[in-house]
Structure 1
Amino acid sequence: MKNHFLTALIALMFGFAGAGLWSATGLGNGQVRDYLVSNPDILPEMAEAYQQGQAKDRLAQVSDTVEDGFPGAVLGNPQGSKVLVKFTDYNCTYCRQSVAGVDQLIAADPDLKVVVREWPIFEGSEGPARMGLAAAKQGKYAAFYHAMFELGPPTAQTVEQAGQIAGLDMEAARTFAASQEASDALAQNISLASSLGFSGTPSWVAGGQVIEGLVPTARLAEALETEG
C-alpha cells in the first residue's frame, strides 16, 4: 500500500512539474523527466507543496466548524479573535510536552483563543476526555486540562484527582461524562480530525494552516500571524 501511494505521488509530481516546466521553458516531456531526475532535491519541496494544497482544501470544507469547539473547552481569551485549535489526548506524551508552549503563546497574546478538541485516540483516553468535557460544561476546563497533564498518564485515580483540583461537582461531572451530549462532542472531534487528514495528536489548525505533531512554539506563532 505504501509503495503504491509513493508511486502515485511521484507520478503526480512528475505530471505537475512537467506541465509547469513545459509551459515555462518549452521543454519536452523527456527533457522534463531528465531535469527532475537530475534535480531530485526539488521532489520533497513539490511533495510538501502538494500536501499543503490538499490540507488547505480539506480545511476549507470544515472551516466554519473547526474553530467552533465544545462550549467552555477553551484556553486563553474565550472572546479572542485569533484562534488556535488543538486536537489532544491526555495519554499523548507529545501533547503533554506542548502544554507549556501553548501557555507561552497565551501569555504573549491576550487576543489568543485556544479551542481544545478532545480526541481520545489512545487506549484509556476516552474517560478522561469525557471528564474534560464535563469540566468545560462547568466552566472549569483550563484547571482540569492542566491538572490532567501535570498528574501524568491518566488513570481513574488521576482523573478523579484532577477533577477535585479543578473544583468540579464530581457527581454532576460523572453524569455529564456519560451523556449523549458528551458522546456527540467526541464524535464530532473524531470526524473533524478525519476530515482534516490528521493521523495523531497533537494536531493543530492555526492561521488557515493544518499542522501535525509536536512543533516548535514559534511555528505555531508564525502560522497564527499568517491567515489563509
Structure 2
Amino acid sequence: MAGGGLAVAAALGVWFWQSGSPSATAEASQAALAAGIDAKEQAAIEAIVRDYILKNPEIIPEAVEILQTRQKAEAINEIRAGIEAPFNGTAFAGNPNGDVIVVEYSDFACPYCKQTTADIDRVLKEDKNVKVVFRELPILSEASNDAALMALAAAKQGKYYAFHKTMFATGRPTPSTIENAAREAGLDLVEARRFTKTPEAQKEVQNNIEIARKLQFTGTPAWVVGNDSQVGAVGYDGLKEMIAKARGSK
C-alpha cells in the first residue's frame, strides 16, 4: 500500500476507534474505498491503530493539546486587529513599535490583575522591544465598569497608563477612588465624565467582552501574546515565557 494511502487509512482507523458510531463507521468505510483501501486492509489498520493507542495512551492528551493550541491560534488570527490595536491608539505602554505585543484583559476590581502591574513594569523595564496593550474587561461589578469607562476616558486624553497604574494602586473601584485616580492621573474630569457616557466608550467595553467570549476567557487577567492566550496571573516568568515563544515563532 502506498505511504499516502496508509496515512489516510490510519487516520480513518483512529476516527473509527474513537467514535464507534454507525454513521462514522460508514463514512470511514466509504472514504477508505475511495482511497483504494479494501475492507480487509481497513480492518487490519484499525486494529494496529487501536493497539498502538492502548499501548501508548499518552498520545491522546498530547494530540488534544496540539489541537487546542491550533484552535487558539486560529481564533486569535481571525480577530487579531481587534485584540492588538490599542483603544484610541494610546491604551498601551512600552515600545509602540515593539516586535512582540502583549495584550492584557483586566478588571480594576480583580486582585490578581492588580498583582500583574508589577510584573508588567518589570517586563517593560527589562525588555525595550515589547508593547503592552491594555483592554478593559469589567466583569466583577458595576464599579468595575465605571472604572473601565474612566480608563477609556484617560486614553482619550493620552493618560491611559497613568490612570491604569494609579487606579490599581488606589484600591477597589468606588465612585471616590475612581475620581481620585482620575484626578491624580491629571485628567480633565469634566471631559472625562462626559466621555464615559458616550456610545464610543460603551461600544469598546462591549467589544472587549465579545472578544473575551470568543477566546473563551473565564476570568481576569487574561492574556494574548502572539498566537497564545492564557487566563490567570501568569506572573513575571509566565509573561517572559509567552514573549519568548511569540518572538521565537517570528
TM-score by length of 2: 0.75
Select the residue among 169, 172, 175 that pairs with 1:153: 172
Q: Which has the higher helix share?
A: 2
Rounded Cα–Cα distance in structure 1 between residues aligned with 2:192 and 2:246:
33
User: Does structure 1 residue 105 correspond to structure 2 residue 127?
Assistant: no
Instruction: Tell whether the 8 Å contact from 1:207 to 1:226 is kept in structure 2 after alignment.
Output: no
Rounded Cα–Cα distance in structure 2 between residues aligned with 1:106 and 1:70:
19
Instruction: Tell whether the 8 Å contact from 2:151 to 2:164 is kept in structure 1 after alignment.
Output: yes
Query: How far does the alpha carbon of each residue in 1:165-195 deviate from its partner, in whole angstroms, 9 at most, with x for none?
Result: 1011111111111111101111221222222
1:81 Cα deviation after fit:
3.8
| 1:172-187 superposed matches below 5 A | 172-187=191-206
Instruction: Tell whether the 8 Å contact from 1:143 to 1:166 is kept in structure 2 after alignment.
Output: yes
Rounded Cα–Cα distance in structure 1 between residues aligned with 2:163 and 2:149:
12
Percent identity between the two aligned chains: 39
Q: CA 1:181–1:162 in 2, change beyond 3 Å: closer, same or farther?
A: same
| 1:113-128 superposed matches below 5 A | 113-124=131-142, 125-128=144-147
Look up the match of 1:29.
46
Instruction: Tell whether the 8 Å contact from 2:100 to 2:243 is kept in structure 1 after alignment.
Output: no
1:67 Cα deviation after fit:
1.1
Select the residue among 87, 93, 99 that pairs with 2:105: 87
Query: How far does the alpha carbon of each residue in 1:42-93 deviate from its partner, in whole angstroms, 9 at most, with x for none?
Result: 3332222111111111112112332112021111123434311111111122
Instruction: Tell whether the 8 Å contact from 2:103 to 2:134 is kept in structure 1 after alignment.
Output: yes
Look up the match of 1:58.
75
Look up the match of 2:62.
45
User: Does structure 1 residue 203 correspond to structure 2 residue 222?
Assistant: yes
Look up the match of 1:140.
159
1:149 Cα deviation after fit:
1.2
Q: CA 1:115–1:17 in 2, change beyond 3 Å: closer, same or farther?
A: farther
Give the CA RMSD over aligned residues: 2.4
**Structure label with greater radius of gyration:** 2
Instruction: Tell whether the 8 Å contact from 2:100 to 2:246 is kept in structure 1 after alignment.
Output: yes
1:17 Cα deviation after fit:
9.7
4+ residue runs over 4 A deviation? 16-19
Instruction: Tell whether the 8 Å contact from 2:94 to 2:128 is kept in structure 1 after alignment.
Output: yes
The number of aligned residues is: 209
Look up the match of 1:77.
95
Look up the match of 1:15.
15
Structure 1 stretches lacking a partner, 5+ long: 1-13, 20-25
Select the residue among 150, 164, 170 that pairs with 2:183: 164
Structure 2 stretches lacking a partner, 5+ long: 1-13, 19-27, 29-41
Look up the match of 2:4.
none
Letter in 2 for 1:68: A
Rounded Cα–Cα distance in structure 2 between residues aligned with 1:222 and 1:62:
22
Letter in 1 for 2:98: G
Look up the match of 2:242.
220
Instruction: Tell whether the 8 Å contact from 1:66 to 1:85 is kept in structure 2 after alignment.
Output: yes
